[in-house]
Chain A
């Protein structure tokens, strides 16, 4: 079955520190992978996406993610976190085909300490 796992429910980092949010997926075919960010009470904003090609993808707000097929992972990284990055982050896999839908992980809530 198709699924996405975000093992970290809550992460706290200090401002200026590096960040890595983990995402593992289970999908039979070549996955289409996404990272979204959600501020409280808001919708989801796309950070970056992977469809094919270079396995290291760059996104908005200084985020990047690396697709590792051997590990079924698509971890999100940022070299230096800003206080405004505090939000909830969702990893998703695109289950295109008969249903054409996104399957979301349960999210990781990021807190940033001053």
Chain B
């Protein structure tokens, strides 16, 4: 079955360390998204990519970086500049642009990041 795979499910970061969260999809979707979820704040958009080799900042991009070298992969790096990285991170995808208007986002099962 097609879907989105996020790994690892749990991740711990030491002070001053960069960590990378993996997101892989086999849905053949063009667009991919990273959200951060904190209790009581809903989902906030970090970065998104509508096509390979292109990505845009979302609402809370500071302290994060991404790459989109392959259509199926959209890794998120949480850098040491992100001072409060403890959160639940969700990856999502959408089909190509002409289909945006009638398709929902598909979500992975998330990665929970904590600080040691």
Smallest CB gap from A102: residue in B? B105
User: Is B16 engaged at the interface, CB distance under 8 Å to the other chain?
Assistant: no
- A33 → chain B, closest Cβ, in Å? 10
User: Is B84 engaged at the interface, CB distance under 8 Å to the other chain?
Assistant: no
User: Is B78 engaged at the interface, CB distance under 8 Å to the other chain?
Assistant: no
Which size class do B's interface residues fall under?
A: 20 to 34
User: Is A63 engaged at the interface, CB distance under 8 Å to the other chain?
Assistant: no
Smallest CB gap from A105: residue in B? B42
Q: Which chain B residues (64-88) contact chain A, with CB distance < 8 Å?
A: 88
* Complex interface: chain A residues within 8 A of B4 (CB): 43
Report the separation of the CA atoms of residues A47 and B34 in the bound assembly, to the nearest whole angstrom.
Answer: 21
Give the residue of A43, A100, A105 whose beta carbon is less than 8 angstroms from that of B107.
A43
Smallest CB gap from A48: residue in B? B104
Q: Which chain A residues (1-19) contact chain B, with CB distance < 8 Å?
A: 9
- B87 → chain A, closest Cβ, in Å? 13
Which size class do A's interface residues fall under?
A: 20 to 34
Smallest CB gap from A42: residue in B? B109
Query: With A106-B40, A107-B42 given, is the CB distance from A32 to B101 under 8 Å?
Result: yes
* Complex interface: chain A residues within 8 A of B48 (CB): 99-101
Give the residue of A41, A100, A104 whose beta carbon is less than 8 angstroms from that of B110.
A41
User: Is A83 engaged at the interface, CB distance under 8 Å to the other chain?
Assistant: no
Query: With A43-B107, A43-B110, A101-B48 given, is the CB distance from A90 to B42 under 8 Å?
Result: yes
Q: Please name 20 pairs of A and B residues whose Cβ atoms are closer than 8 Å in the assembled complex, sorted by A.
A: A41-B112, A42-B110, A43-B4, A43-B90, A43-B108, A46-B104, A49-B104, A99-B56, A100-B48, A101-B33, A101-B45, A101-B48, A101-B58, A102-B33, A104-B35, A106-B40, A106-B41, A106-B42, A107-B40, A107-B42
Extra contacts besides A49-B104, A104-B35 (13): CB < 8 Å: A41-B109, A42-B109, A43-B90, A43-B107, A43-B109, A44-B43, A44-B92, A46-B104, A51-B101, A90-B42, A100-B31, A100-B100, A102-B105
By a beta-carbon cutoff of 8 Å, the part of chain B in contact with chain A is 4, 6, 31, 33, 35, 40-45, 48, 50, 56, 58, 88, 90, 92, 94, 97, 100-102, 104-105, 107-110, 112
